[in-house]
Amino acid sequence: MKGCAKKPVSRLQHNVNTPDGVRGGGSPFTTVTYSPLSASSKKNDPDAPSKAGQIVYTYGSAKLLKKFSWLPTTTDDGNEPITIDDDISPGDRNKRTTSGNRGKGIGFSIKATQFVNESCKYMFDSSYDRVMILGDRIYECGNAICKRFGLELITPKSHELQDNVESDVKAISSTSLDTLNSVKEEPVGDATDIEREEDIYSSWFEGVKVHHVDYPSSEPIRVLGRIVVESSSTATNSSTTSSDKQTQTSKLSIVDFDEHTLRYTRLDLSKVQVPAWWSLFPGQTVLLEGINPRGTLFSVKQIQCERTLTLPRVPSSLDKTLTVVIGSAPFTDRDDLLYEKLSSLLVYCSNNPPDVLILTGPFADANCKLYTEVAETFDEYFEKIISTIMNSIGSHTEVFVVAHHDDLVSSFVYPTAPYKVASFYKNLHFLPDPCVFSIEGLEIGVTTVDVIKHLIESECTAANVNGSVPPFGSDKIKRAYGHLFHQASFYPLNPPPEDVPLDVDMLNEFGRLSRIPNIMICPSALNRYVREINGCICVNPGFVDGHSSDGSYARLIIQPPEVDEQQQKESQSAALYPSPASYIACQIVKT
């Protein structure tokens, strides 16, 4: 017919007559109408040796890893092994299966009311509600910071008074210093007119006197609030000069703990003395000490941003050895929907069945245009992906699937409600993002948003101001996890990047991190790692399909900890006894 525009040819042909050998390369994940017209742009040379199975990171006891043939019996010169033994005999595999006592089942628990679910409404909060919520977070986190700060002041003060009891001169100097550092009870009852007038410009947090951020004072005072960056400031990149970074840092301000009054003041961080190496990020609640002569620029001398942490509980109820495999999206290449790396991971789990398999989304990334050509509904396609996974995994493996806001079948909001499918699998558990769940008493925290990378990219440190060199042993990964723990939130950064659909109300209700879990899983585009931070094993398993780089997954062994009850009672840090490295081992393996 003349005059009609020629219909463009789709990259994905809908042809039900495509042979099985050609259709999707035989991948069980692809739709029946999917036929790629060209090979992936990232196909490796078939003659090149495969990197699959190479170990890129190892944590924990080698003795524990050898129990499951994850390490050879001998190593050369003590070097870390780079290969694993996936080809085991059926007899050894049966021994491994029975060693976990799978017949008893795995105890799993999660507080459903503590995390987001389908009944939650989102994007209903007004700007006023957000301000109220952020103000409440300042009060809550500020009280915890002031409580720890008050305890730190009381302890050295008692020793100082004992040492100087016979020295009148030293006692006088100590009294002058205590004018600022003493911890008092909040005034009650009748007060003088001077005290009442002063209370207008200050408040009490756990016995620590805190002034409003714009209170003019040439004497040292303390202020409490939330770190913000002025709107004119732009994010720095790797090519930004040190002078540009210093300009950005100079635009840091602090919003007062009473956000109803819209009080804020700019910060001068060039004279910070304690700590020598500091780090601040937008949205962080901090207690600052310094002077503010004109009420417009607060010169910071000391930064307090840490609370007394609730350390992980030792999983004393764990009575059998657990094996865990962790895989994080993306699961397929950008150029196809074959899910080759996910298929390889499932083959490994079929040959080496773990007790627990944790998979984090998105399974069908909404940013990938290939899914728009699939001749199935998104729900049907996702159902097929899940059914393929469950049919590949034995019934003895408990599968935990964590949601992601970029998935085609999920709500575009963070925190994200769990997925749902029509079929029922007794060993399948859908979890929200973020969440903390317990397996046999072992607490595991998970979030699929790359919060660690976001914090590292957004933070301002002492190096940006005065060019100081980080102290020996300084670790940006450890520092970022410390922000999560001390701010007691899965996502303390505010405002977030544009691609994170953060709902402040839901995060305040469902994104709290009230205590440190035993294991923290934070998939990230950063280099893969396993770190022990405040008694928590923090894992970045990498991505199953690394696209431009090698893919990877993580596997863990958790054995029942050997707890001496008498020694645990006598230990002041009972939560850290025994050390996690004594009963948890982890490896990151290339796919």
Domain ranges for the chain, please list them: 310-564+575-590
Listed in sequence order, the residues at least 6 apart from 32 whose beta carbon sits closer than 8 Å to its beta carbon are 16, 23
How is residue 419 written in tokens? 């997925």
- CATH assignment of 310-564+575-590, among 3.20.20.70, 3.40.50.2300, 2.60.40.3500, 3.60.21.60: 3.60.21.60
Rama region for 123: left / alpha / beta (φ>0; ψ in -120 to 50; rest)? left
Helices marked H in 323-363 — which ranges? 340-351
* 3-state SS, residue 124: coil
Six-digit token pair at 28? 């069980």
Torsion sign (Cα): 109, 111, 116, 119: positive
Mean pLDDT in order along the chain per 10 residues (591 residues): 42 37 53 52 57 89 78 42 37 40 63 70 78 91 94 66 44 41 53 58 89 94 94 46 51 88 90 90 97 95 95 90 95 89 94 95 91 87 94 93 95 93 94 94 96 95 74 80 97 94 92 94 96 96 88 94 65 64 94 88
User: Cα–Cα distance between 506 and 281 in angstroms, integer?
Assistant: 21
- pLDDT recorded at residue 19: 37
Distance CA 460, CA 455 (A): 10
The β-bridge partners of 398 are 356
Q: How high is the pLDDT of residue 124?
A: 74
Nearest to 511 by CA among 476, 487, 541: 487
Total residues belonging to the chain:
591
DSSP class of 407? B
Paired tokens of 435: 């969440």
Q: First vs last Cα of the chain: how many Å apart?
A: 51
457-476 per-residue burial string, b: 16 or more CB within 10 A, e: under 16: ebbbbbbbbeeeeeeeeeee
Tell the residue number behind the tokens 């009294």, with chain if given: 175
Q: Determine whether 542 is exposed, middle or buried from the number of CB atoms within 10 Å of its CB (0-12, 13-18, 19+).
A: buried
Q: For residues 213 and 215, what is the distance between their CA atoms, to the nearest angstrom?
A: 6
pLDDT for the residue numbered 301: 96
Contacts of 463 (CB under 8 A, 6+ apart): 469, 470
